[in-house]
């Protein structure tokens, strides 16, 4: 994000070089370059680290079940037969049941 102060931005844009812009396209390019330079000088981009919260109930068993479910889904989409849709639905229901049970155990032990 950027914290831009108007009183700092106006002089930074005004004192940029506007030479060598004979065409409209050239003027647009110069304007874009000058505004970018002014923004980078006046208001640097501040970054915040994003720390992903790990769910302790999400384990390898769930991950393997999800990968298996997704593989069955791809096979069902590729037109390998109606049996793959049935297998996919069974795997999907297994994943949902597994997720619910792991979450329930986790939240009961808090």
Q: Are residues 26 and 66 in the same domain?
A: no
Q: What is the pLDDT of residues 18-46, one digit of tens each?
A: 666 677 777 788 778 877 877 777 776 77
Establish if 49 belongs to a structural domain: no
Q: What is the DSSP letter of 27?
A: H
Establish if 51 belongs to a structural domain: no
The pTM of this model reads: 0.52
Q: Are residues 69 and 102 in the same domain?
A: yes
What confidence tier does 89 reach under pLDDT thresholds 50, 70, 90? very high
Domain that residue 27 falls in? 6-42
Q: What is the pLDDT of residues 56-87, one digit of tens each?
A: 889 999 999 999 999 999 999 988 788 999 99
Question: Distance of CA 9 to CAs 3, 28, 77, 92, Å?
Answer: 11, 19, 54, 55
Establish if 47 belongs to a structural domain: no
């Amino acid at each position: 994000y950027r914290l831009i102060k108007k009183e700092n931005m106006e002089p930074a844009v005004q004192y940029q070089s506007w030479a060598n812009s004979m065409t409209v396209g050239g003027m647009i390019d110069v304007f874009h370059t000058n505004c970018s330079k002014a923004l980078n000088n006046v208001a640097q981009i501040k970054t915040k680290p994003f720390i992903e919260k790990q769910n302790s109930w999400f384990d390898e068993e769930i991950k393997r079940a999800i990968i298996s479910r997704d593989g069955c889904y791809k096979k069902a989409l590729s037109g390998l037969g109606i049996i793959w849709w049935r297998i996919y639905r069974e795997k999907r229901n297994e994943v949902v049941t597994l997720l619910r049970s792991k979450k329930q155990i986790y939240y009961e032990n808090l």
